[in-house]
């Protein structure tokens, strides 16, 4: 079970309790004036934590910088595996800086002249630069896409509904201890039509209609 399901399970559980508030959750609404705010300020606390965790995980030599390969894998771990290599390179080059001690290679007889500027392999991305780039991607992502992916993880068998049995299976995989009467109460609260489960539309409404 991935982080999306874990976060959604926690928020879903909290949603069933009147008066609960989750200002720092993954599904927190955007800031009021996103056009004047930095991407880092537009995303939730949980997304910021994920970005920082990915940076530290893929900073293999712990020099507080990422090379291009580390950057690419870090973005993939955040869910951006569909970005083209050309877009990744352009994004990386826009914010990266030459690695410490970089100098152009010396000229050699009968060889093409060396590059006067550092290539992609000679660039490094700082933690702050990675935060800004990753936050920009996260802030531009439609939260409904994440929620629908999470719904499919809850909806065992692609029934189009999340049932008590589905919640029970998710709770077991996450190692949580939620009484059965609470699981039933969560379904009953949001199953407004009495279908025996929560539909995709109802599932989206739990997190987005606030």
Task: Verify that 67 and 85 share a domain, yes or no.
Answer: yes
Total structural domains in the chain? 2
Instruction: Write out pLDDT tens, residues 144-167.
Output: 887 888 898 899 989 999 999 999
Instruction: Give the integer Cα–Cα distance in Å for 140 and 129.
Output: 17
* Position 207 pLDDT exceeds 90: no
Task: Verify that 93 and 184 share a domain, yes or no.
Answer: no
Task: Verify that 135 and 147 share a domain, yes or no.
Answer: no
In a domain, 113, yes or no: no
pLDDT at 6: 61
Confidence of residue 82 (pLDDT cuts 50, 70, 90): confident
In a domain, 61, yes or no: yes
pLDDT at 38: 85
Question: Can you tell me whether residue 20 is helix, strand or coil?
Answer: coil
In a domain, 49, yes or no: yes
Residues 6 or more apart whose CB falls under 8 angstroms from that of 83 comprise 75, 91, 137
**Which domain does 156 fall in, by range?**
143-208
Tell how strand 123-126 and strand 198-199 pair up: unpaired
In a domain, 69, yes or no: yes
Instruction: Write out pLDDT tens, residues 107-134.
Output: 899 888 888 899 999 999 999 999 999 9
DSSP string, 173-200: HHT----HHHHHHHHHHH-TT--SSEEH
- Measured over the CA atoms of residue 94, residue 95, residue 96 and residue 97, the dihedral's sign is positive
Q: Percent of the chain at pLDDT above 90?
A: 45
Q: What is the mean pLDDT of the chain?
A: 84
Task: Verify that 89 and 147 share a domain, yes or no.
Answer: no
In a domain, 45, yes or no: yes
pLDDT at 36: 55
Confidence of residue 21 (pLDDT cuts 50, 70, 90): very low
In a domain, 80, yes or no: yes
* Position 210 pLDDT exceeds 80: no
In a domain, 128, yes or no: yes
Instruction: Give the integer Cα–Cα distance in Å for 36 and 38.
Output: 7
Task: Verify that 46 and 135 share a domain, yes or no.
Answer: yes
CATH number reported for the structural domain that contains residue 154 in this entry: 1.10.238.10
Task: Verify that 159 and 75 share a domain, yes or no.
Answer: no
């Amino acid at each position: 079970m991935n982080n999306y399901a874990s976060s959604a399970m926690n928020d879903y559980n909290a949603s069933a309790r009147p008066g609960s508030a989750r200002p720092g959750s993954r599904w927190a609404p955007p800031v009021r004036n996103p056009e004047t705010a930095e991407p880092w300020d537009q995303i939730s606390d949980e997304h910021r934590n994920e970005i920082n965790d990915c940076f530290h995980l893929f900073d293999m030599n712990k020099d507080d910088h990422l090379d291009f390969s580390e950057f690419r894998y870090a973005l993939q771990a955040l869910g951006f595996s569909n970005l083209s290599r050309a877009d990744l390179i352009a994004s990386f080059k826009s914010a990266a800086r030459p690695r410490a001690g970089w100098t152009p290679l010396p000229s050699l007889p009968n060889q093409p002249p060396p590059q006067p500027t550092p290539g992609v392999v000679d660039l490094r991305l700082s933690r702050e630069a990675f935060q800004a780039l990753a936050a920009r991607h996260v802030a531009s992502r439609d939260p409904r896409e994440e929620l629908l992916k999470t719904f499919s993880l809850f909806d065992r068998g692609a029934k189009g509904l999340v049932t008590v049995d589905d919640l029970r299976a998710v709770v077991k995989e996450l190692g949580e201890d939620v009484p059965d009467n609470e699981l039933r109460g969560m379904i009953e609260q949001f199953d407004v039509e009495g279908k025996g489960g929560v539909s995709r539309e109802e599932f989206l409404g739990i997190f987005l209609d606030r």
